[in-house]
Amino acid sequence: MIHVATQEGLIGPEHLKARKLYRALVKHHKAAACATCKSYPKYGSMIIAGDFFEHIRDIAHTPITPQDFFKLQHAGLIALEEVTPRMVRMVFAEFVREEPQP
């Protein structure tokens, strides 16, 4: 079974930048060709080294605020985990496979 998170929680013009950011992050994750981060498609995640928000802004190609990014977390589209103080794991809920229940 695959858990599918949608952008339903991001309806309306006030969430436009967050939706665009999410699409850019997914595209970047699928491209898997970046010196700053490493994608792990099997696990639906990528690990970002260095300045996390600077890299997110680079991916977005548009000015964003941390609030735009945290809307994605609040909507359940992504989850963040600090691996080290300079490394963050970002997990995309729509690409994570749930383990079968016994």
pLDDT tens-place string over residues 5-20 = 455 667 888 888 888 9
Of the candidates 60, 62, 72, 64, the residue with the CA atom closest to the CA atom of residue 25: 60
**Of 99, 93, 98, 85, residue with least CA distance to 8:** 93
Q: For the ranges 6-10, 34-38, 88-92, which has the lowest average pLDDT?
A: 6-10
Which residue, among 102, 96, 76, 93, has the nearest Cα to 1 in the 3D structure? 96
pTM of the model: 0.81
Q: How confident is the model at residue 4 (pLDDT cuts 50, 70, 90)?
A: very low
pLDDT at 91 over 80: yes
> Does residue 8 or residue 29 have the better pLDDT?
29
Average pLDDT over residues 63-84: 89
Mean per-residue pLDDT over the chain, rounded = 83
